[in-house]
Amino acid sequence: MYISLQSLADKTLNYKSVGKHAVTNLLSPAGKNLSGKGVVVGVGDNSEIVTQHIDFNDRVINRVPFPFSFHGIHVSGTVAGAGILDQRHHGMAPGLPL
């Protein structure tokens, strides 16, 4: 058996999640206009959300004393990322406080 090293490039996994799950219709003012405003969600991921991240500005209400983890930020971004740097990368409910 021969095993060789492969060079794999990173790829964005959540880029098309909003479209795949038909969330665009829910967020659109012409659709349901649901952005998550007025609803609070807790993400139980056992990691600290870095509140300096621009997508979470002034929307993190409770922080947990767990070590920093990119997974916790990723999950929180999937749920409620604002998409400030690039609107294509907003979360499922971009107006949601966490």
Task: Specify whether the CB–CB gap between 80 and 21 falls below 8 A.
Answer: no
Q: Pull the structure tokens for residue 75.
A: 């999950």
The single residue listed with the structure tokens 């998409």 is: 83
Residue ranges with strand state E in the chain: none
pTM of the model: 0.69
Region of residue 58 (phi > 0: left; psi between -120 and 50: alpha; otherwise: beta): left
Question: Which pLDDT does position 22 carry in this prediction?
Answer: 66
CA–CA separation, 95 vs 36, rounded Å? 5
Give me the residue spans of the domains in the chain: 17-89
Q: What is the pLDDT of residues 53-88, one digit of tens each?
A: 888 888 888 777 777 777 888 888 888 888 888 887
Comparing 79 with 35, which gets the higher pLDDT?
Answer: 79
Q: Which of 81, 12, 87 is nearest to 43 (CA)?
A: 81
Q: Pull the structure tokens for residue 67.
A: 């070590």
Span 23-27, average pLDDT: 70
The per-residue pLDDT of the chain, averaged, comes to 77
